[in-house]
């Protein structure tokens, strides 16, 4: 069978890999001039670094499994430290143990000085979806929401707790039940003292090196500069139009996997799965920028970085001390930091020029960690349409998309728009899409 995959982000490449290893012929088409989507590595100040995503969840098997399957097991590294802080109330304060911001150690929380007022109310969880903000405020109080849950959730979605869906964006909070603080504290107390496996993993050279390894091992034909403009039925199979306007090329396939962000997927499915297209057109994205700073001289930094509660209204949303967090970055001998800027609905910061963005980030960092030595080099990576916002009702939206796509034989969708934005979830989603496709086509 010949399959066309639209999008060479980690979703599309995983789909290509899964199809290729089962002996199918695959062509992957991506509009950008590079593969990998939000996984991108590049050089700043002579150091190879991640300019997009930087780690994978190692607690679930899919991403690490893919890394091993494509021959990069020996490049896997766990962070040297995951000790993060919260920059609030005039200092970087140690982030106490939490379940996605819901405190599980009240003594550590009190010692951190991050929050004064914690409640532990029992309020029945409603059957219908609610926002993370509504759930947490009613049970743990507004301060826990604003100074712990918001910054942690913001680190994943760059979104707002009052809009994000409890069921889709924070199922681990839903699992804590009616009284999440008491449940989180009890779960931590019951946990054994046995050393726990590392939660995250990265790759020497960056997780941005993963896409090329997957592409190389997949056996697929991978084309960049190939924006797909049309997907339509053609007899028993499919016809795609790709390439620059004026030089459009036709690609034919028996099946199609569309692995693009929701706005592009909505356009491509408009004719073949209109209900899915309509549902996807309503999915909002947050745009963010990552500012990477390589210092000219060594600067001592403690911990893996810090998060910033949006209520404090700082320019920087979070900072990672890359050379403290990753041994492979420390090996470069350089002090490297990266800061993220921008949240859902707040794109003003991203309209600044690179120079001003860097200056404002450096000013924030100086306040947080002290005056830094001069940068040897800086880099601004803008990610427009970076992170889908799983707002209240997201699971219904996804169900609509799935049932509409299922009515078009030989069509599948995957990517960060559906079942989780993290790399591991995206890899799992792509694997599931391939399984559904092959089941449907009897292959």
Ligand X SMILES: Cc1cc2nc3c(=O)[nH]c(=O)nc-3n(C[C@H](O)[C@H](O)[C@H](O)COP(=O)(O)OP(=O)(O)OC[C@H]3O[C@@H](n4cnc5c(N)ncnc54)[C@H](O)[C@@H]3O)c2cc1C
Residues that bind ligand X (CB under 6 A): 6-12, 29-32, 37-39, 52-57, 227-228, 259-261, 264, 288, 290, 383, 386-387, 415-416, 421-423, 426
- The least distance separating ligand X from the CB of residue 120, rounded to whole angstroms, comes to 31
- d(C-alpha 139, C-alpha 136), whole Å: 5
DSSP 316: -
What single DSSP character describes residue 372? P
Instruction: List the beta bridge partners of residue 414.
Output: none
Q: Residue 83 or 382: which CB sits closer to ligand X?
A: 382
The closest alpha carbon to 177, from 121, 221, 216, 110, belongs to 121
Q: Which is nearer to ligand X, 7 or 159 (CB)?
A: 7
Q: Which is nearer to ligand X, 112 or 260 (CB)?
A: 260
Comparing CB distances to ligand X, the nearer of 88 and 287 is 287
Report, in Å, the least distance between residue 242 CB and ligand X: 7
* Residue among 290 and 368 whose Cβ is closer to ligand X: 290
Measured distance CA(53)–CA(295) in Å, rounded: 21
Judge whether 52 and 383 are in contact, CB under 8 Å.
yes
Q: Could you tell me the smallest distance in angstroms from the CB atom of residue 292 to ligand X?
A: 11
Closest separation between CB of residue 88 and ligand X, Å? 22
DSSP string, 29-94: E-SSSSSBTT--EEEETTEEEESS---EESSSHHHHHHHHHTT-GGGEE--S---EEEEETTEEEE
- In whole angstroms, the minimum distance from the beta carbon of 442 to ligand X comes to 27
Query: What is the C-alpha to C-alpha distance for residues 167 and 148, in angstroms, rounded to an integer?
Result: 19
- Kindly list the distances between the CA atom of residue 50 and the CA atoms of 26, 171, 202, 209, in Å, as whole numbers in the listed order: 28, 28, 10, 9
The minimum distance between CB 318 and ligand X, in angstroms, equals: 10
Instruction: Identify whether the C-beta of residue 442 lies closer than 8 Å to the C-beta of residue 254.
Output: no
- What whole-number distance in Å separates Cα of residue 359 and Cα of residue 343? 19
Alpha-carbon dihedral sign for residues 164, 170, 175, 180: negative
Nearer to ligand X, 13 or 365 (CB): 13
**3-class secondary structure, 352:** coil
194 vs 190, 191, 291, CA distance in Å?
A: 12, 8, 38
Asked if residue 10 lies in contact with residue 39, where contact means CB atoms within 8 angstroms, the answer is yes
Nearer Cβ to ligand X (116/271): 271
Nearer to ligand X, 112 or 226 (CB): 226
Beta strands in 112-166 (DSSP E): none
Q: Which is nearer to ligand X, 100 or 259 (CB)?
A: 259
**Least distance to ligand X, CB of residue 424, Å:** 6
Give residue 90's Cα distance to chain centre.
29
Least spacing, CB of residue 199 vs ligand X, in Å: 11
* φ/ψ of residue 64, rounded to 5: -65, -40
Q: Minimum CB separation from ligand X for residue 283, in Å? A: 12
Please check whether residue 148 is in contact with residue 132, taking contact to mean a CB–CB distance below 8 angstroms: no
Closer Cβ to ligand X, 166 or 286, answer by number: 286
Minimum distance from residue 339 beta carbon to ligand X (Å): 11
């Amino acid at each position: 069978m010949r399959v066309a995959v639209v999008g060479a982000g980690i979703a599309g490449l995983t789909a290509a890999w899964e199809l290729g290893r089962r002996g199918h012929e695959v062509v992957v088409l991506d509009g950008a001039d590079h593969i990998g989507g939000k996984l991108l590595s590049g050089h700043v100040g002579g150091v190879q670094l991640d300019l997009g995503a930087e780690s994978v969840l190692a607690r679930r098997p899919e991403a690490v499994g893919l890394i091993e399957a494509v021959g990069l097991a020996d490049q896997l590294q766990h962070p040297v430290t995951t000790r993060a802080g919260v920059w609030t109330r005039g200092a970087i304060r140690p982030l106490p143990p939490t379940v996605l911001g819901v405190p599980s150690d009240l003594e550590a929380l009190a010692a951190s000085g991050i929050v004064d007022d914690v409640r532990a109310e029992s309020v029945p969880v409603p059957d219908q979806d609610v926002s993370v903000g509504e759930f947490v405020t009613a049970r743990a109080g507004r301060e826990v929401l604003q100074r712990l849950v918001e910054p942690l959730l913001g680190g994943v979605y760059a979104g707002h707790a009052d809009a994000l869906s409890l069921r889709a964006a924070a199922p681990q909070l839903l699992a804590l039940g009616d009284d999440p603080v008491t449940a989180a504290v009890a779960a931590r107390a019951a946990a054994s003292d046995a050393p726990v496996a590392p939660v995250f993993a990265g790759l020497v050279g960056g997780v941005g090196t993963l896409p090329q390894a997957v592409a190389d091992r997949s056996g697929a034909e991978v084309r960049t500069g190939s924006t797909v403009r049309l997907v339509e039925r053609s007899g028993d199979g499919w016809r795609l139009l790709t390439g620059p306007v004026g030089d459009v090329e036709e690609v034919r396939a028996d099946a199609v996997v569309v692995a693009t962000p929701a706005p592009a997927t909505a356009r491509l499915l408009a004719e073949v799965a209109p209900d899915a297209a309509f549902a996807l057109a309503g999915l909002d994205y947050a745009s963010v920028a990552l500012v990477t700073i390589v210092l000219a001289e060594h600067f001592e930094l403690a911990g893996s970085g810090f998060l910033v509660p949006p209520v404090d209204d700082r320019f920087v949303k979070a900072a990672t001390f890359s050379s403290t967090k990753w041994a492979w970055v420390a090996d470069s001998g350089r002090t490297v930091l990266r800061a993220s800027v921008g949240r859902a609905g707040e794109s003003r910061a991203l309209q600044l020029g690179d120079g001003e963005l860097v200056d404002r980030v450096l000013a924030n960092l100086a306040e947080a960690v002290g005056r830094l030595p001069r940068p040897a080099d800086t880099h601004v990576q803008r990610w427009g349409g970076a992170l889908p916002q799983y707002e209240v009702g997201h699971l219904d939206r996804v169900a609509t998309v799935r049932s509409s796509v299922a009515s078009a034989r030989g069509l599948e969708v995957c990517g960060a728009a559906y079942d989780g934005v993290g790399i591991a979830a995206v890899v799992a989603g792509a694997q599931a899409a391939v399984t559904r496709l092959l089941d449907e086509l009897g292959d």
